[in-house]
Structure 1
């Protein structure tokens, strides 16, 4: 599998033309394409046939930033590659038989890991971020963190040695220190989120709180394993449950919750498309466009609702009335903009229409407020109560101001 430079040009042109005017200012790689180290540094230089340096140049010419899918603990180069600033090589980073591991009879599947407590590991991680800073990369999406921590996967069983909680915390501390030093945003993917996400919330800028999008659609947005949570990765199987369950760790200037990619072309109705976009924004998450110029069809309008995107620009983070997965009040979200306006989201995860009526005092508000529907782009008068009938899988998002 590969994306050629010519295909990258088409992708970049599309993002710059159709999405950048609405604030989408980054193109990010994902997995499944070879991550190649083709210079003496030993760090990734090519994403398939595409040079990362050239990708950054192409995007910069269009006013776009670049994010890269890679992990500071993955070793791409040869064992004899020297670690800058040390007497060690990449060989010294690997499991050496003396490391304490959770699954000593196992072997690491798919990845060669740098063990955080090994000599040279801190410098190797620092070199990783220095490398990407020099290339002009501003965002790193690091995957399979649970496999490093305990070598376990709920679906696949034992997948690695499992380097333990202490090693995992040390690794993320090194990563956070160097990422901050070089001004690179970190996205933590596939974490177990043990002990109430204590380590991830401390060291990451953004953290995944739901299983992979895969086929997408309403299944990933709301239906998959609805109402269930697990002790290990993935804690929740659908976006709605993930955002609800982990809403208590998010907020302004706190870790950002990541609901994974959005593929609007996999949804069945306009109501569902409005819901999946609204949910990310009400929870303070990113709107990550995974549709392509070849398959987005007429769905661009859902990504480019300027009134809703104001929430992201304002760094708005809402909360559900309840963070209990069994409580229907988790379908009601609310929060406050930096200028004092309130935004309230009424969602309907059911398969038939549902009516709502709430006094504004439910949300800590008093008196009457001017209400505007952000999907219909319509003013709805001055209210002290919100009453609405929401279609199946739909939502109503309103902004209230004095």
Structure 2
């Protein structure tokens, strides 16, 4: 159901936003790829270099997907004699600086992972009490992004305190490194995330117990989509709500339909979520490319107005999400919640558009014409119709 904006909450949001970092590293949501879904913690230099080459060859890099994030498992099982994290030498024989240089030479950025406790979620050395040393190490390697988890022993220190420690360490090194807060059990990170980070997880993992290869359906992403409802005013202009990665072309036990995967991509774009891929980009079907390389929908996610969209209608049949765009138009996603195909209608008054509007379909890449008061579309089960709408005289 639609909810009114409460004045006091709005004022609090404005006051909070003023505390955010003055110069965000990127003003639009990050786009890229993450290693955990396709490889879990079985990553190595060869695989990452192959992914980098595939990002270039497939056109993903040129479409905006420039970040390659190495998730949990890149590091050795222990720190070195100086106390530093280092890449596992059998899997990364040339070291992390070499890999960073390889990615940078191809116009890509490199991301890395650690945790605020003594161990990462997969049991490797975390950054607890090594924040300054790790930050300096990452900078020396040429790292561009750090995903910072919340696993491991932390001697009763709060996650907020420990993430703030790492944020300060990163700011002190003189190299811009994007920083993501990953506290998947927290429901309030959005209240303070922009004070110290570029993006923050809004809740739990989109795929649970990934090492056990669970059945993956549209319900995975639909549950995580609900995490951003009501948090729109805390994000924007370089600081982003992250409902977790895309599961388009998820590599194991993927039970989603093509239309359901289009739906996630559409909805992630309209809420200004980071577009982080989780598929094996070395082997992609043409249908996958049609989703991930849709320039018109990527443009919605990357819109210069940097204003996340919000859900304005939710009933038994559908949801309607709306995002105001920089050119004065609105991106609208109509999501069919039903298990059967349905013709669903959009009333212009519900999205504050008076009378007539010109409509463009962002999946068929076609202009639909000018409509008065309402617009209807036939939509697949758990699918979407995504349109760009501008008021007409």
Q: Which residue of 1 aligns with 2:36?
A: none
Query: Which residue does the alignment assign to 2:298?
Result: 309
Mean Cα deviation higher: 361-370 or 63-72: 361-370
The corresponding residue for 1:368 is 356
Q: Which moved more, 1:264-273 or 1:33-42?
A: 33-42
- Secondary structure of the corresponding residue to residue 276 of structure 2: coil
Cα-to-partner distance string for 1:280-315 (whole Å, 9 max, x where unaligned): 111111121111145432311110001111123224
Residue 203 of structure 1 is matched in structure 2 by 196
- Which of residues 334, 348, 352 is equivalent to 2:322? 334
Q: Distance in 2 between matches of 1:252 and 1:330?
A: 29
- Structure 2 segments unaligned to the other structure (5+ residues): 1-40
| Conservation of the 8 A alpha-carbon contact between 2:346 and 2:375 | yes
In the alignment, what sits opposite 1:23?
Answer: 64
Q: Report the Cα offset of residue 162 of structure 1.
A: 5.9
Deviations 1:199-240 (A, max 9, x none): 435333212233242344324123xxxxxxxxxxxxxxx323
C-alpha deviation, 1:40, in angstroms: 5.1
| Secondary structure at 1:46 match in 2 | coil
**Gapped regions of structure 1 (runs ≥ 5):** 77-107, 116-120, 149-159, 223-237
User: Larger C-alpha radius of gyration, 1 or 2?
Assistant: 1
Per mean C-alpha deviation after superposition, the further-off stretch among 377-386 and 183-192 is: 183-192
Which residue number corresponds to residue 62 of structure 1?
Answer: 106
* Equivalence for 2:115: 71
Q: Tell me which residue corresponds to 2:225.
A: 240
Q: Distance in 2 between matches of 1:65 and 1:206?
A: 17
Q: 1: distance between equivalents of 2:317 and 2:138? A: 43
Question: Does the Cα contact within 8 Å between 1:205 and 1:256 map onto a contact in 2?
Answer: no
Alignment of 1:86-235 (within 5 A): 110=123, 121=129, 124-143=130-149, 145=150, 147=151, 163-165=156-158, 168-181=159-172, 182-195=175-188, 197-209=190-202, 210-213=204-207, 214=210, 215=214, 216-222=216-222
* Secondary structure of the corresponding residue to residue 180 of structure 2: strand
Q: How many residues are aligned here? A: 331
Please list the CA deviations of residues 261-295 of structure 1 after superposition, one character each: whole Å capped at 9, or x if unmatched. 42424254221121011111111111211111454
Question: Are the equivalent residues in 1 in contact too, given 2:339–2:381 (CA < 8 A)?
Answer: yes
With a CA cutoff of 8 Å and minimum separation of 6, indicate the structure with the bigger relative contact order. Answer: 2
**Counterparts of 1:184 and 1:329 in 2: how far apart (Å)?**
43
Q: CA deviation at 1:180?
A: 3.5
Q: CA deviation at 1:317?
A: 1.5
SS in 1 for 2:84: coil
Query: What's the C-alpha RMSD, in Å, of the aligned pairs?
Result: 3.0
Distance 2:194 2:352 in 1: 27
* Mean CA deviation greater in 187-196 or 386-395: 187-196
Distance (Å, rounded) in 1 between the aligned partners of 2:69 and 2:278: 10
Change (3 A) 1:194 1:273: closer
Mapped to 2, the partners of 1:387 and 1:135 lie a distance apart of: 53
User: Helix, strand or coil for the counterpart of 2:333?
Assistant: strand
Q: Which residue of 2 aligns with 1:226?
A: none
How has the CA–CA distance of structure 1 residues 161 and 297 changed in structure 2, closer, same or farther, with 3 Å as cutoff? same
1:318 to partner: Cα distance: 0.6
Q: Deviation of residue 70 (structure 1)?
A: 1.6
State whether structure 2 residue 52 is matched by structure 1 residue 12: yes
Using the TM superposition, name which of 7-16 and 255-264 deviates more: 255-264
Q: 1:331 to 1:42 in 2, by over 3 A?
A: farther
Distance 1:312 1:54, change over 3 A: same
Quickly say closer, same or farther: Cα 1:60–1:252, change in 2 above 3 A: closer
Match of 1:318 in 2: 309
Q: Is the 8 A contact 1:68 1:139 kept in 2?
A: yes
For 1:7 and 1:113, locate their aligned partners in 2 and report how far apart those are by CA, in whole Å: 23
